[in-house]
Chains A and B, each alone.
Chain A
Amino acid sequence: MNIASRPKFFTTNKRGENYELKAELNSEYRGVRKDAVKKVIANMTVGKDVSGLFPDVLKNMHTEDLELKKLVYLYLMNYAKTQPELVILAVNTFVMDTNDTNPLIRALAIRTMGCLRVEKIIDYLTEPLRKCLKDDNPYVRKTACLCVAKLYDLNPELALESGFVETLQEMVSDINPMVVANAVVALSDINEASPETVVFKITGGTLNKLLHALNECTEWGQISILTALADYKAGDVKEAEGICDRVLPRLQHANGSVVLSAIKVLMINMRLVRDANFNKNLVKKMAPPLVTLLSGPPEVQYVALRNINLILQKRSDVLSNEMRVFFCKYNDPPYVKLEKLEIMIRLCNERNVDQLLSELKEYASEVDVDFVRKSVRAIGRCAIKIEEASERCINVLLDLINTGINYVVQEAIVVIKASETAGIADIFRKYPQKYEGIIPTLCENLDALDEPEAKASLIWIIGEYASHIDNADELLSGFLENFKEENAQVQLQLVTATVKLFLKKPNENQDIVQQVLQTATTECENPDIRDRAYVYWRLLSTDPQAAKAVVLSDKPPIEDEDTGVSAALLDELIYNIGTLASVYHKPPEAFIGGKRYGADNVQKAVAEPAEEEDINAPPPQIQAAIKNNDIGNLLDLDWDDPGAAAASSSSQPSAQNDLQDLFSPSSPQQTQQQSPVAAKPKSNVDDIMGLFGSSAPAPVPQTSGFQQPMFQQSPPQQQQQLQQNLFGGDLLFDTQPAAQPTSPPQQQQKAAQNDPFADLF
C-alpha cells in the first residue's frame, strides 16, 4: 500500500472535533462514514474520550461492510460499559448478525456480544448463543464455546441454568478438533473460576477423545488439551504408561509451550509408573527437547531455564551430560545468564567441575558487575557442593583476588569466608602458608574494601586465623581506629574477631580487647553490638575456658545457599510446569489472591459463602511458611502469648538477665524448658546465634534454631568439664573455678563494669 496516499487518522487537531465527527458519522456517503468511524477509533486508541459519539457510531453498525462492522464492534466493546442504556440499541443488530449467512459474521457477533460485559444484554445473549453452539460451521462453534466461558464469568447461575455448561461438556466429543480444544479451554476456565462445581472432570472415555484430538488440533489447542490432561489422575500404571506413550510425540513439536506442557504430563504420570526402564527412557527423550528450548527467544529461554531448574530438582539425571549447553554467550541477556549459572551449578559434578571453573573464571572478567559477582559466588558454591574440588576452587578465587579488580576482590573475599564456614577450612589448615600468602594480597586491598560484607568477611578471616597471622593485632587495630564510623555488620565482626584474637593470643592482646569492649558497650548506639560486647565481656570474666569453648567452637557445616525448593513445594510446582508459578518458584497462592477476580465479580465474590475450611489444617500463616520452606517464618510467628513464653524461659524480668541466664552454666533444665515452647524462644535463640561471629551470616540449619553448636553438644556444665579435662594440663589462664552459676547477675555486672579484668586474672 502506498504510504503517502494513506489517510492520516491520527493527525486531526481542529477544535470541535467531536462535533465534526458527529456530522461525518451521519453523512450520506458511505466512504465518509467509514473514515469517520476510523477517526473515532484512532481517537479512542490515543486515549481521547469519544464515548459521546456512541449513538452516532451505533448507527453504522448495520452494514454489509465487514471492516466497518468490525470497527463499530470494537468501539462497542470499549464503551459499552460507559453507556449501558444505549447498548440495548445494538442488541437487535447483534441478534440479526448471529443469523447471518456468513459464518464469519455469525462468529464475530457472538464473540463481541460476549465481550460487552453489560448485565442488561445478557438476557439477549442466551438465544443466539444456544444457536451458535449448534451451528453447522465449526468456526462459529469454536467461538461460541469461549462465549460460554465469558457468560459464566458474568453470570454463572445463568450459564448453568440454561444448560450451556452441559452443552460444553458434550462438545468435548465434537467431531472437529478445534471445537474440542476450545470446549476444553472453556471448561477449564470455568473450573478454575469455581472449582467447587467440578464442571470438568476427565473420565476414561473423554481421555481417549482428548488424546485423539491432540493429534489434530492447532498448537494452542494442543496446549489446552495437555494442560487439562495434567489434571487427570491415571487410574492405574497401565493407563499412565498409555498416556505417556500418546503424549511423547508432542516433544517433537516446534512450539515450545507444547513441549513444556507435554513434559508436565510426562513428569506427572511418570510418578505412577513402576517400571524403571520406562521412566529412564522417558527421561532420555525429554533431554534434547529441553535443550532445544534454549534456541528460542530469550524470554522463552528464561521461562524454560526456570522450569529446567525445577525438573532437575525432581530428576537430577535429565541433563547430566549437557552442562556445556548452558555456558553463557556474550550477548545473552542478564536474566538468562544468571539462570544459566544456577543450572550449571546444579549440573556440576566431579567430572565437569574443572570445565565449569575455567568458565566461571572467564565470566569473572566480564563487565556486568552483578553477573561477575554471581559468578564469583558460584565458584564458592562449587567448592561447597564438590568437596574434592574445593582446593581448586580456592585457587581460582586467589587468582581472581590477584587481578585487583575491586568488586571481584570484594566478592572473592566474601566467598572465601563463606567457603570457610562451609567446613572446608581444612584446606587452610593443611596449607597454612598458602593462606598466609594471600593475607598480604587481601590486606593490600584493604583500602579498596568499601562494602560492609567484604570488610566484615575479611575481619572474620583475620580473627579466625589470628594464630597464623603475625600482625593480626595490627590489622585489627587499623580497623578499630574507625570503629564508630563502621557499619554495624563490620562492628559486630570486629568485636568477635578481637575476642578471638585475645583468646588465641591472650598475652599481647589484653589492651585491644578491653578497648573494643569498652567502646562497644559504652559508645555504641546499636543494641545488638552492645549486647554482644556485654555477653563476651561477661563470658570472659566468668570463665575464659567456657568462652573459648563457645567462641572458638567448631562451626556447623553450611549448605549451598540455594538448595532449591522444599519437596512439598516442588511437587506442587511440577504440576505447574510452564506456568507463572514455575517461573517464580512459588505456589500460585503466593501471587494470586482470592479465587475470583473478574472486575464484575468482585462484589459477587464478597457475597458468596466463604470457602470451606479444613478445621484441622494449621493456621494460614503456618501453611504459607511450610510451603515456603521457611522455618524462620515459623519461628517468627507469635501465636502464643509471648509473655508466657518469656516467663517460662526466665523468671527474672529484665531482658539483660534473660540473656545472662541463657549463658549461666547452671541452666540445663532451662534448655529443656525451652524445647517444648516452639514459638517465642526464637528471639532468644537468635540472639545467641548472633553471638557467635561464625554463624551470624551463615544460614540457620534447616531443622531448628536449637541445634546451634552450643546446645547441640551438651549442657554447658558438662561441656565445661570437658573443656577443663582437655585443657587441664596447660591451662592458659589461671582460672578461678567457674563463678557461682547462681550468683546474682546484677552484682556480677556491677563488678564487671568496675574492672572486668580484675576479676579475670
Chain B
Amino acid sequence: MASAVFILDLKGKVLISRNYRGDVPMSAVEKFMPLVSEAEDEQVPLPCFTHEGINYLYIKHNNLYLLAVTRKNTNATSIMLFLHRLTEVFADYFKELEEESIRDNFVIVYELMDEMMDFGYPQTTETKILQEYITQDAYKLETQVRPPMAVTNAVSWRSEGIKYKKNEIFLDVIESVNLLVNSNGNVLRSEVLGSVKMRCYLSGMPELRLGLNDKVMFEATGRASASSSKAIEMEDVKFHQCVRLSRFENDRTISFIPPDGDFELMSYRLQSSAKPLIWVEAVVENYAGSRVEYMVKAKAQFKRKSSANNVEIAIPVPDDADSPKFKCSSGSVSYKPEKSCLIWKIKQFQGGKEFIMRAHFGLPSVQAAEETEKKPPINISFEIPYFTVSGIQVRYLKIVEKSGYQALPWVRYITQNGDYQMRMPESIKSGKQTAGY
C-alpha cells in the first residue's frame, strides 16, 4: 500500500499530493529530488529506493513525476502499476497529462485520487466506471449521482441499462512486430505482440463468445488433424478482466460480458520464425574528417498481394554531419538533424519489392579525438493492413442477449511495427585515420 502519493514537476516541486495513511511525514518528499539526482551522479538511478526507513517508488510521465512513499514492505508491482493507471485515468479525463492539466483540473484530480485509492489500497481504476460518477461538468448532472452498480458488481466494468438503436461490434486484430537484429544481420529476437481491440455498441448485458483458430483449443476439441496447419499457437495470452479466466483454463473458451465502448479484450505474444517483414541493409563508408556515405537497401519480405503503408526507415547519422545529399529509387528522404538521423519514407511498399537509397553527408574536418560514437539502431515503422504475421483468425463471435437482438460483428486485421530495431553495421573506415590508431 502507499502511504501518500505525490505528483511533482521535473524540478521536484509538488503540484498535488494526497496523504492516505498519515504514517509518513509529508515532508519526506523534499528528500526525493536530491536523492534522485544524487543517484544519477553516482550510478544508475533506480525506480524504487529506500532512505531512512521510507521507501520511494516513482515513475516519470511527460514532464511529471508520480511518486508513492511507504514505510512497509509494500507490493511494489501493484504500486508501480497503480501509478501508471493514475496516468492513464488522468489522460482519459484531460486528454494530455502534464503540469498544466494537473493545475487546471486540481479539483477533479483530488476527487479521482480519493476514489481510486483508499487507505493506500487501490480501489476502482476503470476510467469508464469512474466517469459515471466523477465528471468535470458536475453542474450538468441534473440528478444527484449515485455509485454505479458496476463499482461493486461481479461485473464491475459494465453498467446496466445501456441502449443502442443499432447493435454493432467492431473487432480490430492488431499485431505489433518486435524485432531485434544485430550488426551482422542475425535476427536476435522476433516476437509478435497481438492485441484484439473491441468497440462495442451493444444494448443490455450481452454474453459474448469469441472463437479463434487457437491450436490448443483445436487439440483439446480433437480438431487438430483437420486444421492444424491453420491453427496458431499463442505463447501467452492476457485477458481483460471481463473474460472468465477459469473457463478459458478449462476449455479455452473466451466468454465474457464486454464493457461498453472501446477496450482491449485480449493480448497475446508469440515468437515468429518467419522472415522479418521489412529488411534493411545498410553499408556505411566513413571518410573521417571529410564525408560519410550510406547505401541502404530495403526489402519487403511478405506476399505480393499485401503491401505496407507509410513505411519510415530512420537511419542514424553522426551528430555533426552536414550538407546532406540523397538519391533513392522510391519514396522521399529527409534529414532530421535534431534526431541525428535521416528518414526515408515510402508511402506504399508492395510485398517482394526492393528499393535502394544512397545518402552522402559532409563531416567537419576537425573532430574530437577518440570519442566513442553513439550507436543507435535503425528504426523502422510501417503498417500492413489486412494481414497478420501469426495467421490468427476470428472464426466466430457469438452474441447472446436476453432481448434476443441480432448484432453484427465487424473484423479488421492489421500488422504494424513494434520495437523494430536493426543495429547499425560497423562502418567501413577509409581515408584519414583518427589519432587513436
Which A residues form the contact surface with B (CB < 8 A)? 1, 3, 6, 9-10, 38, 41-42, 45, 47, 64-67, 70-71, 74, 77-78, 102-104, 107, 111, 114-115, 117, 137-139, 142-143, 146, 149-150, 153, 176-179, 182, 185, 189, 192, 215-220, 223-224, 227, 246, 248-250, 252-257, 260-261, 288-289, 291-292, 295-300, 302-304, 307, 324-325, 327, 329-331, 334-335, 338, 355, 358-359, 362, 365-367, 370, 404-406, 576, 578-584, 588, 591-593, 597-601
- Determine how close the nearest CB of chain A comes to the CB of B366; give it in whole angstroms: 20
B191 interface residue per 8 A CB criterion: yes
A300/B84 in contact, CB under 8 A: yes
B136/A185 in contact, CB under 8 A: no
- A324 cross-chain contacts in B, Cβ below 8 A: 188-189
- A102 cross-chain contacts in B, Cβ below 8 A: 144, 146
Contact with A along B46-66 (1 / 0, CB 8 A): 111010010101110000000
B136 — nearest CB in chain A belongs to which residue?
A1
A599/B75 in contact, CB under 8 A: no
- Determine how close the nearest CB of chain B comes to the CB of A567; give it in whole angstroms: 20
B236/A260 in contact, CB under 8 A: no
A295/B193 in contact, CB under 8 A: yes
A253/B239 in contact, CB under 8 A: yes
- B244 cross-chain contacts in A, Cβ below 8 A: 215
User: In the assembly, what is the distance between CA of A366 and CA of B435, in Å?
Assistant: 20
- A335 cross-chain contacts in B, Cβ below 8 A: 44-47
B356 interface residue per 8 A CB criterion: no
Pairs across A and B, CB under 8 Å, 14 listed: A71-B107, A104-B145, A179-B152, A217-B156, A218-B156, A224-B121, A249-B248, A252-B238, A325-B189, A367-B372, A404-B370, A591-B55, A597-B24, A597-B53
Report which residue of B14, B55, B78, B122 has the largest number of chain A beta carbons within 10 angstroms of its beta carbon. B78
A576/B81 in contact, CB under 8 A: no
A329/B421 in contact, CB under 8 A: yes
A327/B147 in contact, CB under 8 A: no
CB within 8 A of A588: which of B1, B73, B419?
B73
- B421 cross-chain contacts in A, Cβ below 8 A: 329-330
B316 — nearest CB in chain A belongs to which residue?
A330
B75/A581 in contact, CB under 8 A: no
B59/A297 in contact, CB under 8 A: yes
Known contacts A370-B44, A580-B76, A592-B71; A67/B138 CB under 8 A: yes
Which residues of B205-250 are within 8 A (CB) of A? 235-241, 244-246, 248-249
Task: Give 18 A-B pairs besides A215-B245, A598-B21 with Cβ atoms closer than 8 angstroms.
Answer: A41-B106, A45-B106, A70-B114, A78-B19, A104-B146, A220-B125, A252-B249, A253-B238, A254-B240, A288-B269, A302-B47, A329-B180, A330-B377, A330-B421, A330-B423, A358-B182, A580-B70, A598-B23
Chain B: interface size category = 35 or more
- Determine how close the nearest CB of chain A comes to the CB of B270; give it in whole angstroms: 9
- Determine how close the nearest CB of chain B comes to the CB of A82; give it in whole angstroms: 13
User: In the assembly, what is the distance between CA of A143 and CA of B121, in Å?
Assistant: 11
B238 — nearest CB in chain A belongs to which residue?
A254
- B290 cross-chain contacts in A, Cβ below 8 A: none
- Determine how close the nearest CB of chain A comes to the CB of B149; give it in whole angstroms: 9
CB within 8 A of A295: which of B71, B114, B269?
B269
- A74 cross-chain contacts in B, Cβ below 8 A: 110, 114
User: In the assembly, what is the distance between CA of A192 and CA of B249, in Å?
Assistant: 33
Which residues of B356-412 are within 8 A (CB) of A? 370, 372-377
Which residues of B228-279 are within 8 A (CB) of A? 235-241, 244-246, 248-249, 264, 267, 269
B122/A578 in contact, CB under 8 A: no
User: In the assembly, what is the distance between CA of A488 and CA of B83, in Å?
Assistant: 47
CB within 8 A of A41: which of B71, B74, B110, B122?
B110
A582/B76 in contact, CB under 8 A: yes
- B318 cross-chain contacts in A, Cβ below 8 A: none
User: In the assembly, what is the distance between CA of A220 and CA of B241, in Å?
Assistant: 11
- Determine how close the nearest CB of chain B comes to the CB of A581; give it in whole angstroms: 5
User: In the assembly, what is the distance between CA of A138 and CA of B372, in Å?
Assistant: 62
A366/B375 in contact, CB under 8 A: yes
User: In the assembly, what is the distance between CA of A259 and CA of B349, in Å?
Assistant: 40
User: In the assembly, what is the distance between CA of A593 and CA of B50, in Å?
Assistant: 12
- B154 cross-chain contacts in A, Cβ below 8 A: 177, 216-217
User: In the assembly, what is the distance between CA of A300 and CA of B43, in Å?
Assistant: 20
B44/A599 in contact, CB under 8 A: no
A597/B238 in contact, CB under 8 A: no
B23/A218 in contact, CB under 8 A: no
B76/A583 in contact, CB under 8 A: yes
B189 — nearest CB in chain A belongs to which residue?
A324
A139/B152 in contact, CB under 8 A: yes
B303 interface residue per 8 A CB criterion: no
B126 — nearest CB in chain A belongs to which residue?
A218
User: In the assembly, what is the distance between CA of A223 and CA of B249, in Å?
Assistant: 19
B152/A299 in contact, CB under 8 A: no
Known contacts A74-B110, A248-B249; A218/B180 CB under 8 A: no
Known contacts A70-B114, A252-B245, A295-B193; A227/B238 CB under 8 A: no
- A3 cross-chain contacts in B, Cβ below 8 A: 104
Known contacts A324-B188, A580-B50; A70/B111 CB under 8 A: yes
Known contacts A143-B118, A302-B46, A365-B372; A597/B77 CB under 8 A: no
User: In the assembly, what is the distance between CA of A114 and CA of B21, in Å?
Assistant: 10
B310 interface residue per 8 A CB criterion: no
Contact with A along B400-437 (1 / 0, CB 8 A): 00000000000000000001010100000000000011
CB within 8 A of B23: which of A66, A142, A599?
A599
B183 interface residue per 8 A CB criterion: yes
Closest 3 CB pairs of A and B: A288-B236, A138-B152, A249-B245
